[in-house]
Amino acid sequence: MDPYKELATLLDMRIKGQANQALSGIPSELGTMTATGLKLDTFKHEIKDYLLADWLVKVHFPAFSLVGTATSPVDNDGKNLPGATTSPKTRYDFFAREVQEVRLELKPGLKAGDRVLAIPVNNGQEAIILAKVVI
């Protein structure tokens, strides 16, 4: 199996588990992102100042291998420096690893038309977006 698919599946399972635990008993609803805010399905007005859940997670990377090349020397941005050469194809082996406090940043991925799961607060005047919803 593709190691990236394994990682994506693991992240998906962990996030779903945390979301299910966090949402038990909380009235959440679907909404749609607009160009200037959030429109909840059951609230007729757009919410311009919505909040976003901040997810800090522990990421578990499985052991995996990748095939690629190495180019050296490069600058801090990864651009080739004069005299740079590229190696033949090489296999890179990565060990299993856990990384603490990885921040999942939702806002840059949200655009008008996206469906989201939100919790209305303050009598529906505000909302906290928990996740983007995809099919």
Q: Which domain holds residue 118?
A: 3-133
Least Cα distance to 66 among 133, 1, 113, 3 occurs for 3
Is the model's pTM score more than 0.75? no
Look over the chain and give the mean of its residue pLDDT values, rounded to a whole number: 86
pLDDT computed for residue 54 by the predictor: 87
Contact 19, 102 (CB under 8 A): no
Which tokens sit at 14? 């962990």
**Mean pLDDT in order along the chain per 10 residues (135 residues):** 71 68 70 93 87 91 96 95 95 95 86 93 84 89
Q: Cα separation of 107 and 118, whole Å? A: 13
Count how many domains the chain has.
1
